[in-house]
Structure 1
Amino acid sequence: MTRSTWHRLKARLSSLFSRAALAIPLFLCVLGPAFPAHAATKEELKLGERIYREGILPSGERLRVNLHGEPAAPGLTFTCASCHLRSGLGAFDEGVYVPAINGEKLFKPLPRTYKGIVLNEGAEPPLRPAYTEAALIEALRHGKDPNGRQLSASMPQYQFEEKDLKLLVAYLKSLSVEFSPGISEDRIRIATVVSDDLPPAKRDALFTTLTFFVNLKNGQIKGFGNPRSGSKSRLMAENMLPSRELVTKSLSLARWVLRGSPDTWRAQLEEYYRNDPVFAMVGGAVNGSWQPIHQFCEQNGIPSIFPATDLPVLSENDWYTLYQSKGFYQEGESAAHFLAQKQVNETALVEIVRESPQGKALAAGFRHAWQELGQIAPVTVSLPAGEKLEAKALQSAMEKAGEGGRAVRLLVWDDASALPALALFKEKLRPEALVLSGRYLGESLWTLPEPVRGFTYLTYPYIFMPLPKPVMGRTLIPEDTKQAMRKGEVPVRSETQQVIAQTNAVTQLLSLLLMDLKGNYYRDNLLDVAGMMTDQPHPLFGRLSFGTGQRYASKGCYVVQLGPGTNPELVKQTGWSAQ
């Protein structure tokens, strides 16, 4: 199971301190007369946000802390967000409670609750009073709560100057105070995005699966609120929707269709959002890169959950899009690790790269991993878009690389149009190994010429399991696929089936996330909750691993070979390797 940043922080701290019971843990700020009452500017809020998230002061220096006698450490190690999360709503994990410190919670008394229900409000004293300026300074600098009690050993004592503290206070006053756009008293508004050139079968599979999910959830909500539905229906609804607040809100799905060139998509997205603000974007699929949608979500702070894309944006810093995998890039990485394990001296490596988004992503993933493994860069031959791979050109590249009798390994990052050229390998000249992308070949991988199958290896990013009987979109599974599934272990061959499987994964994840929000409808909280999730099963990618800041949930890929015959099987050559 992938551990979150909080898990790692907790392990570090436990090596320094014996953990005391977390009395009334953190703090952070408060309203007070010493702080001017003027509204913070956007620039001031950005500076406060940087202190909170990164531990970096306006001067560019890192925030310094003391840890009960330990030497001061860089604030980057103990940022507010590392424990209280981006939303400021904290967490309860493995018996450790990290309280909310957002503006909505911090400046009010902390009531006693049980499973989210306030106990004897007015009769029982609160766990702590609202923070005041003096209490805030005491908590920050000396680790004491408003009652004068010492906070947990895990609570850092910050070396703050008042001007920097003021910036942090201003940011926290604005943090997770009002619900995010797309949330109303009785509705959660979500959207899915497709491009108009998406094949109709894929588009319909996506829309049908999401619509089925929305209708199912709304039906459960009606069952919960309808006194005529009977006790069994109400009990089922309560079990399916354990968040009492959630049963007051129905789901509403908007379909955003992007038309024309990707260069125009950003303006179309802005127009859709202006007319119909949504809480999050779920699923979706376009022909080509997801980059225009990714950038739109990043700049508008809109979560995008599990788009069905093989061309995600690769970033270590972006936050708002959660992908199912790295797509083609990940296959390239897996090919590099596979070949490096089989590497021998005096072997040449030739790479044929189609000048397409898919070919470039495969090549980029391969080269990055290949370089990290300390290998010599391959000889690369570019194949312009629209130009067919010719057998003569392929043979020429092979002969040049194999001068002196060297064995040649060949990577062909191209689609099914490359398959006819591979017929030359029936002759004397042939590579020691040929590597292709199973995903890029698509359903044509099953037509790979039989004479080359013995030395051809395919990157294959899907697990070898039948699709489970789906909860959503069950009428979209073709009868021949159902029959194949009954026979046992089979790969998923249809691209439409893949879209269904990926969209089903979206609905299952979204259902869990909405329940775990516990009525706190803040977009950053949606992604904070995702980062704290345990591993989840996936019908295509096996298991999805989550963690704070992780944006690519599936990390594995097989390398396979195609067996003989007209109805061949895929034969695994590696395990489900994670890069």
Structure 2
Amino acid sequence: MRLASCSILLFFAGVARSADVAPPTGGPPPGEAMKLGERIYREGILPSGEPMMAVAMGDIPVDGRMFTCDDCHQRSGIGSVEGTVITWPTNGKELFIPRRRTGAWKPPRTEEEKRSPRRQLPPYWQQVKDVRPAYTDETLARVLRMGVDPAGRRLDRVMPRYLLNDRDMAILIHYLRNLSVVPAPGVDNTAITFATVVTEGVSAGDRKEMLSTLRAYVDAHNAQSRHEERRAKSGPFFRTERNLAYRRIRLLVWELAGPPETWRGQLEARYREEPAFALLGGLAAGSWAPIHTFCEENRIPCILPITDLPVVSESDWYTLYFSKGPYQEGESAAKYLDRVESLPPDARVVQVLRRGDQAGAVARGFEDAWGRFGRPPPVRRMLGEEEPLSGHLLEELTGSHGPAVLLLWLGPGDLPALETLGKGPDRPKYVFLSSTLLNRELSAVPEAARDRVYVTYPSILPQESGRRLDAVRGWLKSRKVPATDLEIQARIYFLGMMLAETIKHLRSEFFREYFLEGFDMMVDQDYAIAVYPRLTFGTGQRYASKGCYIVQLTKGPAPEPIRKSDWVIH
């Protein structure tokens, strides 16, 4: 109960920083009004629980859940661009001031700016009129209902007209007045504070490799190699916002000790001591779930932690992962069998595994995807902790009327039993293994079984990664960081490359939701990432790797994985 109370206090402390505008008269109290307004804005659900109704394209009645505000204006309210459609900001900071014409000169606000030579511009620049005056509650209600702004201009028909009564409209306007108004904790005029999490149980080597690479990026960012702070003061006026976004980075290392159930309290204590704008990278011994939950409930972005056990969720928003981990391997095996090999509907599938987080994740991934395809659940055969996969057990599993598919979510020590797999007349047509559970020890697969064995491979193939890894090695060498574990170091290298652009994207809008939306708007990445063939981003997408190869192995003592599927199996 104490931890839950701390979490609630952390969240509402952030809300209180922006919720300084009174709620509608006679309406719910401020906290409740913000929750109700947020639900209208994000989900299209009214305080009554009914869906908000709207009219699209001038005359088409639609359920407001189909066209929620944040679909276009984004969760932050800062707006977006889609093709030729520009969606303007709807946050309180921008709605209730006049909007300048795009690209127009903005007059100096401080005495220092007035003395700046770059602010002394020709008169014709200074005479550009505002596009619209500031909104009031009344004109904002009118534009939401009728699509007419304070200047009398009619908005594009792509903007729905919402059918809201006065009370619900007042709640939504109260929410918009307080949306993305005050910058998030962890940022000041000169620095932005990030934290990275390392838990007890992480090896000293992994810890060193992650932190040394992350600190090398921070040092490079703070080195002023492009004179960023000078540019912010004296650069051209049309780059002012982008240049002013530059902040030095302060990196906190939050070390967590003890069992996972105590991590939440430790995180909250660290945050109270010194708030971080977001979490970067990080390593945990075991599941990332306690850190994920802390970030989700306190609305703190967590960017690309290094974990094989992420939380797999369709709705959680604040943690951006590299992939779904082993769960994604199980999903991909199911997709391959259903979409590529087109197994008969009644094909029997057996999964063999021991208790363990990674094996359980692969099995769940397969079961969930298999069920979505309308297939009967696979049979699970659990091995005891000390029970080996023996030839006798394989004979039992693959005897008369044996399975068409055998999924062995086991480690390399169990694979010698596969020697017998090629000898029986009722051997399964497909045997699947996980390269993660094998620790990439592909040579452990007996040659006699390789014609029937398929391996899930959630990374770039080793024969295709050379040039990309060379780029990482070169960067590490230039910063005097030994290249000791490129699996970890290449991920942090990629995180650093993406972070620089995302901070520039923020301009002066240091809001956590907008920070995450900067990653959402990135183009596909296939050059700075050496661990995956491609990473793909999109609105609300929280797993950047969308694929996993299905491979078979060549003969010989050092087998090479050969692709049997595309990276993404549709």
2:370 maps to which residue? 370
- Alignment deviations for residues 382-421 of structure 1 (CA, whole Å, 9 cap, x no partner): 124x32424156235325xx225x5653211122332344
SS in 2 for 1:542: coil
1:246 maps to which residue? 245
1:152 maps to which residue? 156
* Partner residue of 2:460 out of 451, 460, 463: 463
1:139 maps to which residue? 143
Residues in 1 aligned to 2:194 and 2:280: alpha-carbon distance in whole angstroms: 7
* Partner residue of 2:536 out of 534, 539, 545: 545
Residues in 1 aligned to 2:563 and 2:145: alpha-carbon distance in whole angstroms: 58
2:434 maps to which residue? 437
Residues in 1 aligned to 2:157 and 2:534: alpha-carbon distance in whole angstroms: 36
SS in 1 for 2:275: coil
Residues in 2 aligned to 1:252 and 1:35: alpha-carbon distance in whole angstroms: 40
2:114 maps to which residue? none
Contact 1:346 1:407 in 2 (8 A): no
Residues in 1 aligned to 2:81 and 2:242: alpha-carbon distance in whole angstroms: 16
- Alignment deviations for residues 191-242 of structure 1 (CA, whole Å, 9 cap, x no partner): 1112221122222111111111111010126833469xxxxxx99xx9x999
Query: Are 2:307 and 1:321 aligned?
Result: no
2:200 maps to which residue? 196
Give the TM-score normalised by structure 2: 0.84
Q: Specify the code of the residue in structure 1 equivalent to 2:551.
A: V
Contact 1:34 1:133 in 2 (8 A): no
1:418 maps to which residue? 414
Residues in 2 aligned to 1:155 and 1:550: alpha-carbon distance in whole angstroms: 24
CA 153–451 in structure 1, closer or farther in 2 if over 3 Å, else same:
same
1:278 maps to which residue? 276
1:398 maps to which residue? 397
CA 392–307 in structure 1, closer or farther in 2 if over 3 Å, else same:
same
CA 241–220 in structure 1, closer or farther in 2 if over 3 Å, else same:
farther
Query: Are 2:529 and 1:527 aligned?
Result: no
* Partner residue of 1:511 out of 493, 500, 515: 500
Q: Specify the code of the residue in structure 2 equivalent to 1:502.
A: R
Q: Specify the code of the residue in structure 2 equivalent to 1:439.
A: T
- Alignment deviations for residues 235-281 of structure 1 (CA, whole Å, 9 cap, x no partner): 9xx9x99921123x200111112222111111111111111211111
Q: Specify the code of the residue in structure 2 equivalent to 1:314.
A: V
Deviation, 1:123, is: 4.2
Residues in 2 aligned to 1:330 and 1:117: alpha-carbon distance in whole angstroms: 49
CA 440–179 in structure 1, closer or farther in 2 if over 3 Å, else same:
same
SS in 2 for 1:370: helix
Q: Specify the code of the residue in structure 1 equivalent to 2:482.
A: L
Query: Are 2:564 and 1:558 aligned?
Result: no
Q: Specify the code of the residue in structure 1 equivalent to 2:411.
A: D
Show structure 2 runs of 5+ residues with no match. Answer: 1-19, 108-120
Contact 2:519 2:537 in 1 (8 A): yes
Residues in 2 aligned to 1:291 and 1:150: alpha-carbon distance in whole angstroms: 47
CA 259–49 in structure 1, closer or farther in 2 if over 3 Å, else same:
same
Contact 2:51 2:63 in 1 (8 A): yes
1:488 maps to which residue? none
Contact 2:57 2:158 in 1 (8 A): no
CA 356–241 in structure 1, closer or farther in 2 if over 3 Å, else same:
farther
Contact 1:91 1:99 in 2 (8 A): yes
SS in 1 for 2:493: helix
Q: CA RMSD in A?
A: 3.0
Query: Are 2:132 and 1:128 aligned?
Result: yes
Residues in 2 aligned to 1:338 and 1:132: alpha-carbon distance in whole angstroms: 56
Q: Specify the code of the residue in structure 1 equivalent to 2:429.
A: E
Residues in 2 aligned to 1:47 and 1:34: alpha-carbon distance in whole angstroms: 11
Residues in 2 aligned to 1:373 and 1:515: alpha-carbon distance in whole angstroms: 43
Show structure 1 runs of 5+ residues with no match. Answer: 1-30, 228-233, 479-495
Contact 1:32 1:133 in 2 (8 A): no
Q: Specify the code of the residue in structure 2 equivalent to 1:477.
A: A
1:15 maps to which residue? none
Q: Specify the code of the residue in structure 1 equivalent to 2:187.
A: I
Deviation, 1:427, is: 5.3
CA 117–542 in structure 1, closer or farther in 2 if over 3 Å, else same:
farther
Q: Specify the code of the residue in structure 1 equivalent to 2:285.
A: N
1:75 maps to which residue? 64
1:51 maps to which residue? 40
Q: Count residues with an aligned counterpart.
A: 519
SS in 2 for 1:459: strand
Deviation, 1:424, is: 4.1
Residues in 1 aligned to 2:326 and 2:554: alpha-carbon distance in whole angstroms: 23
CA 163–477 in structure 1, closer or farther in 2 if over 3 Å, else same:
same
Deviation, 1:39, is: 9.9
Deviation, 1:428, is: 4.4
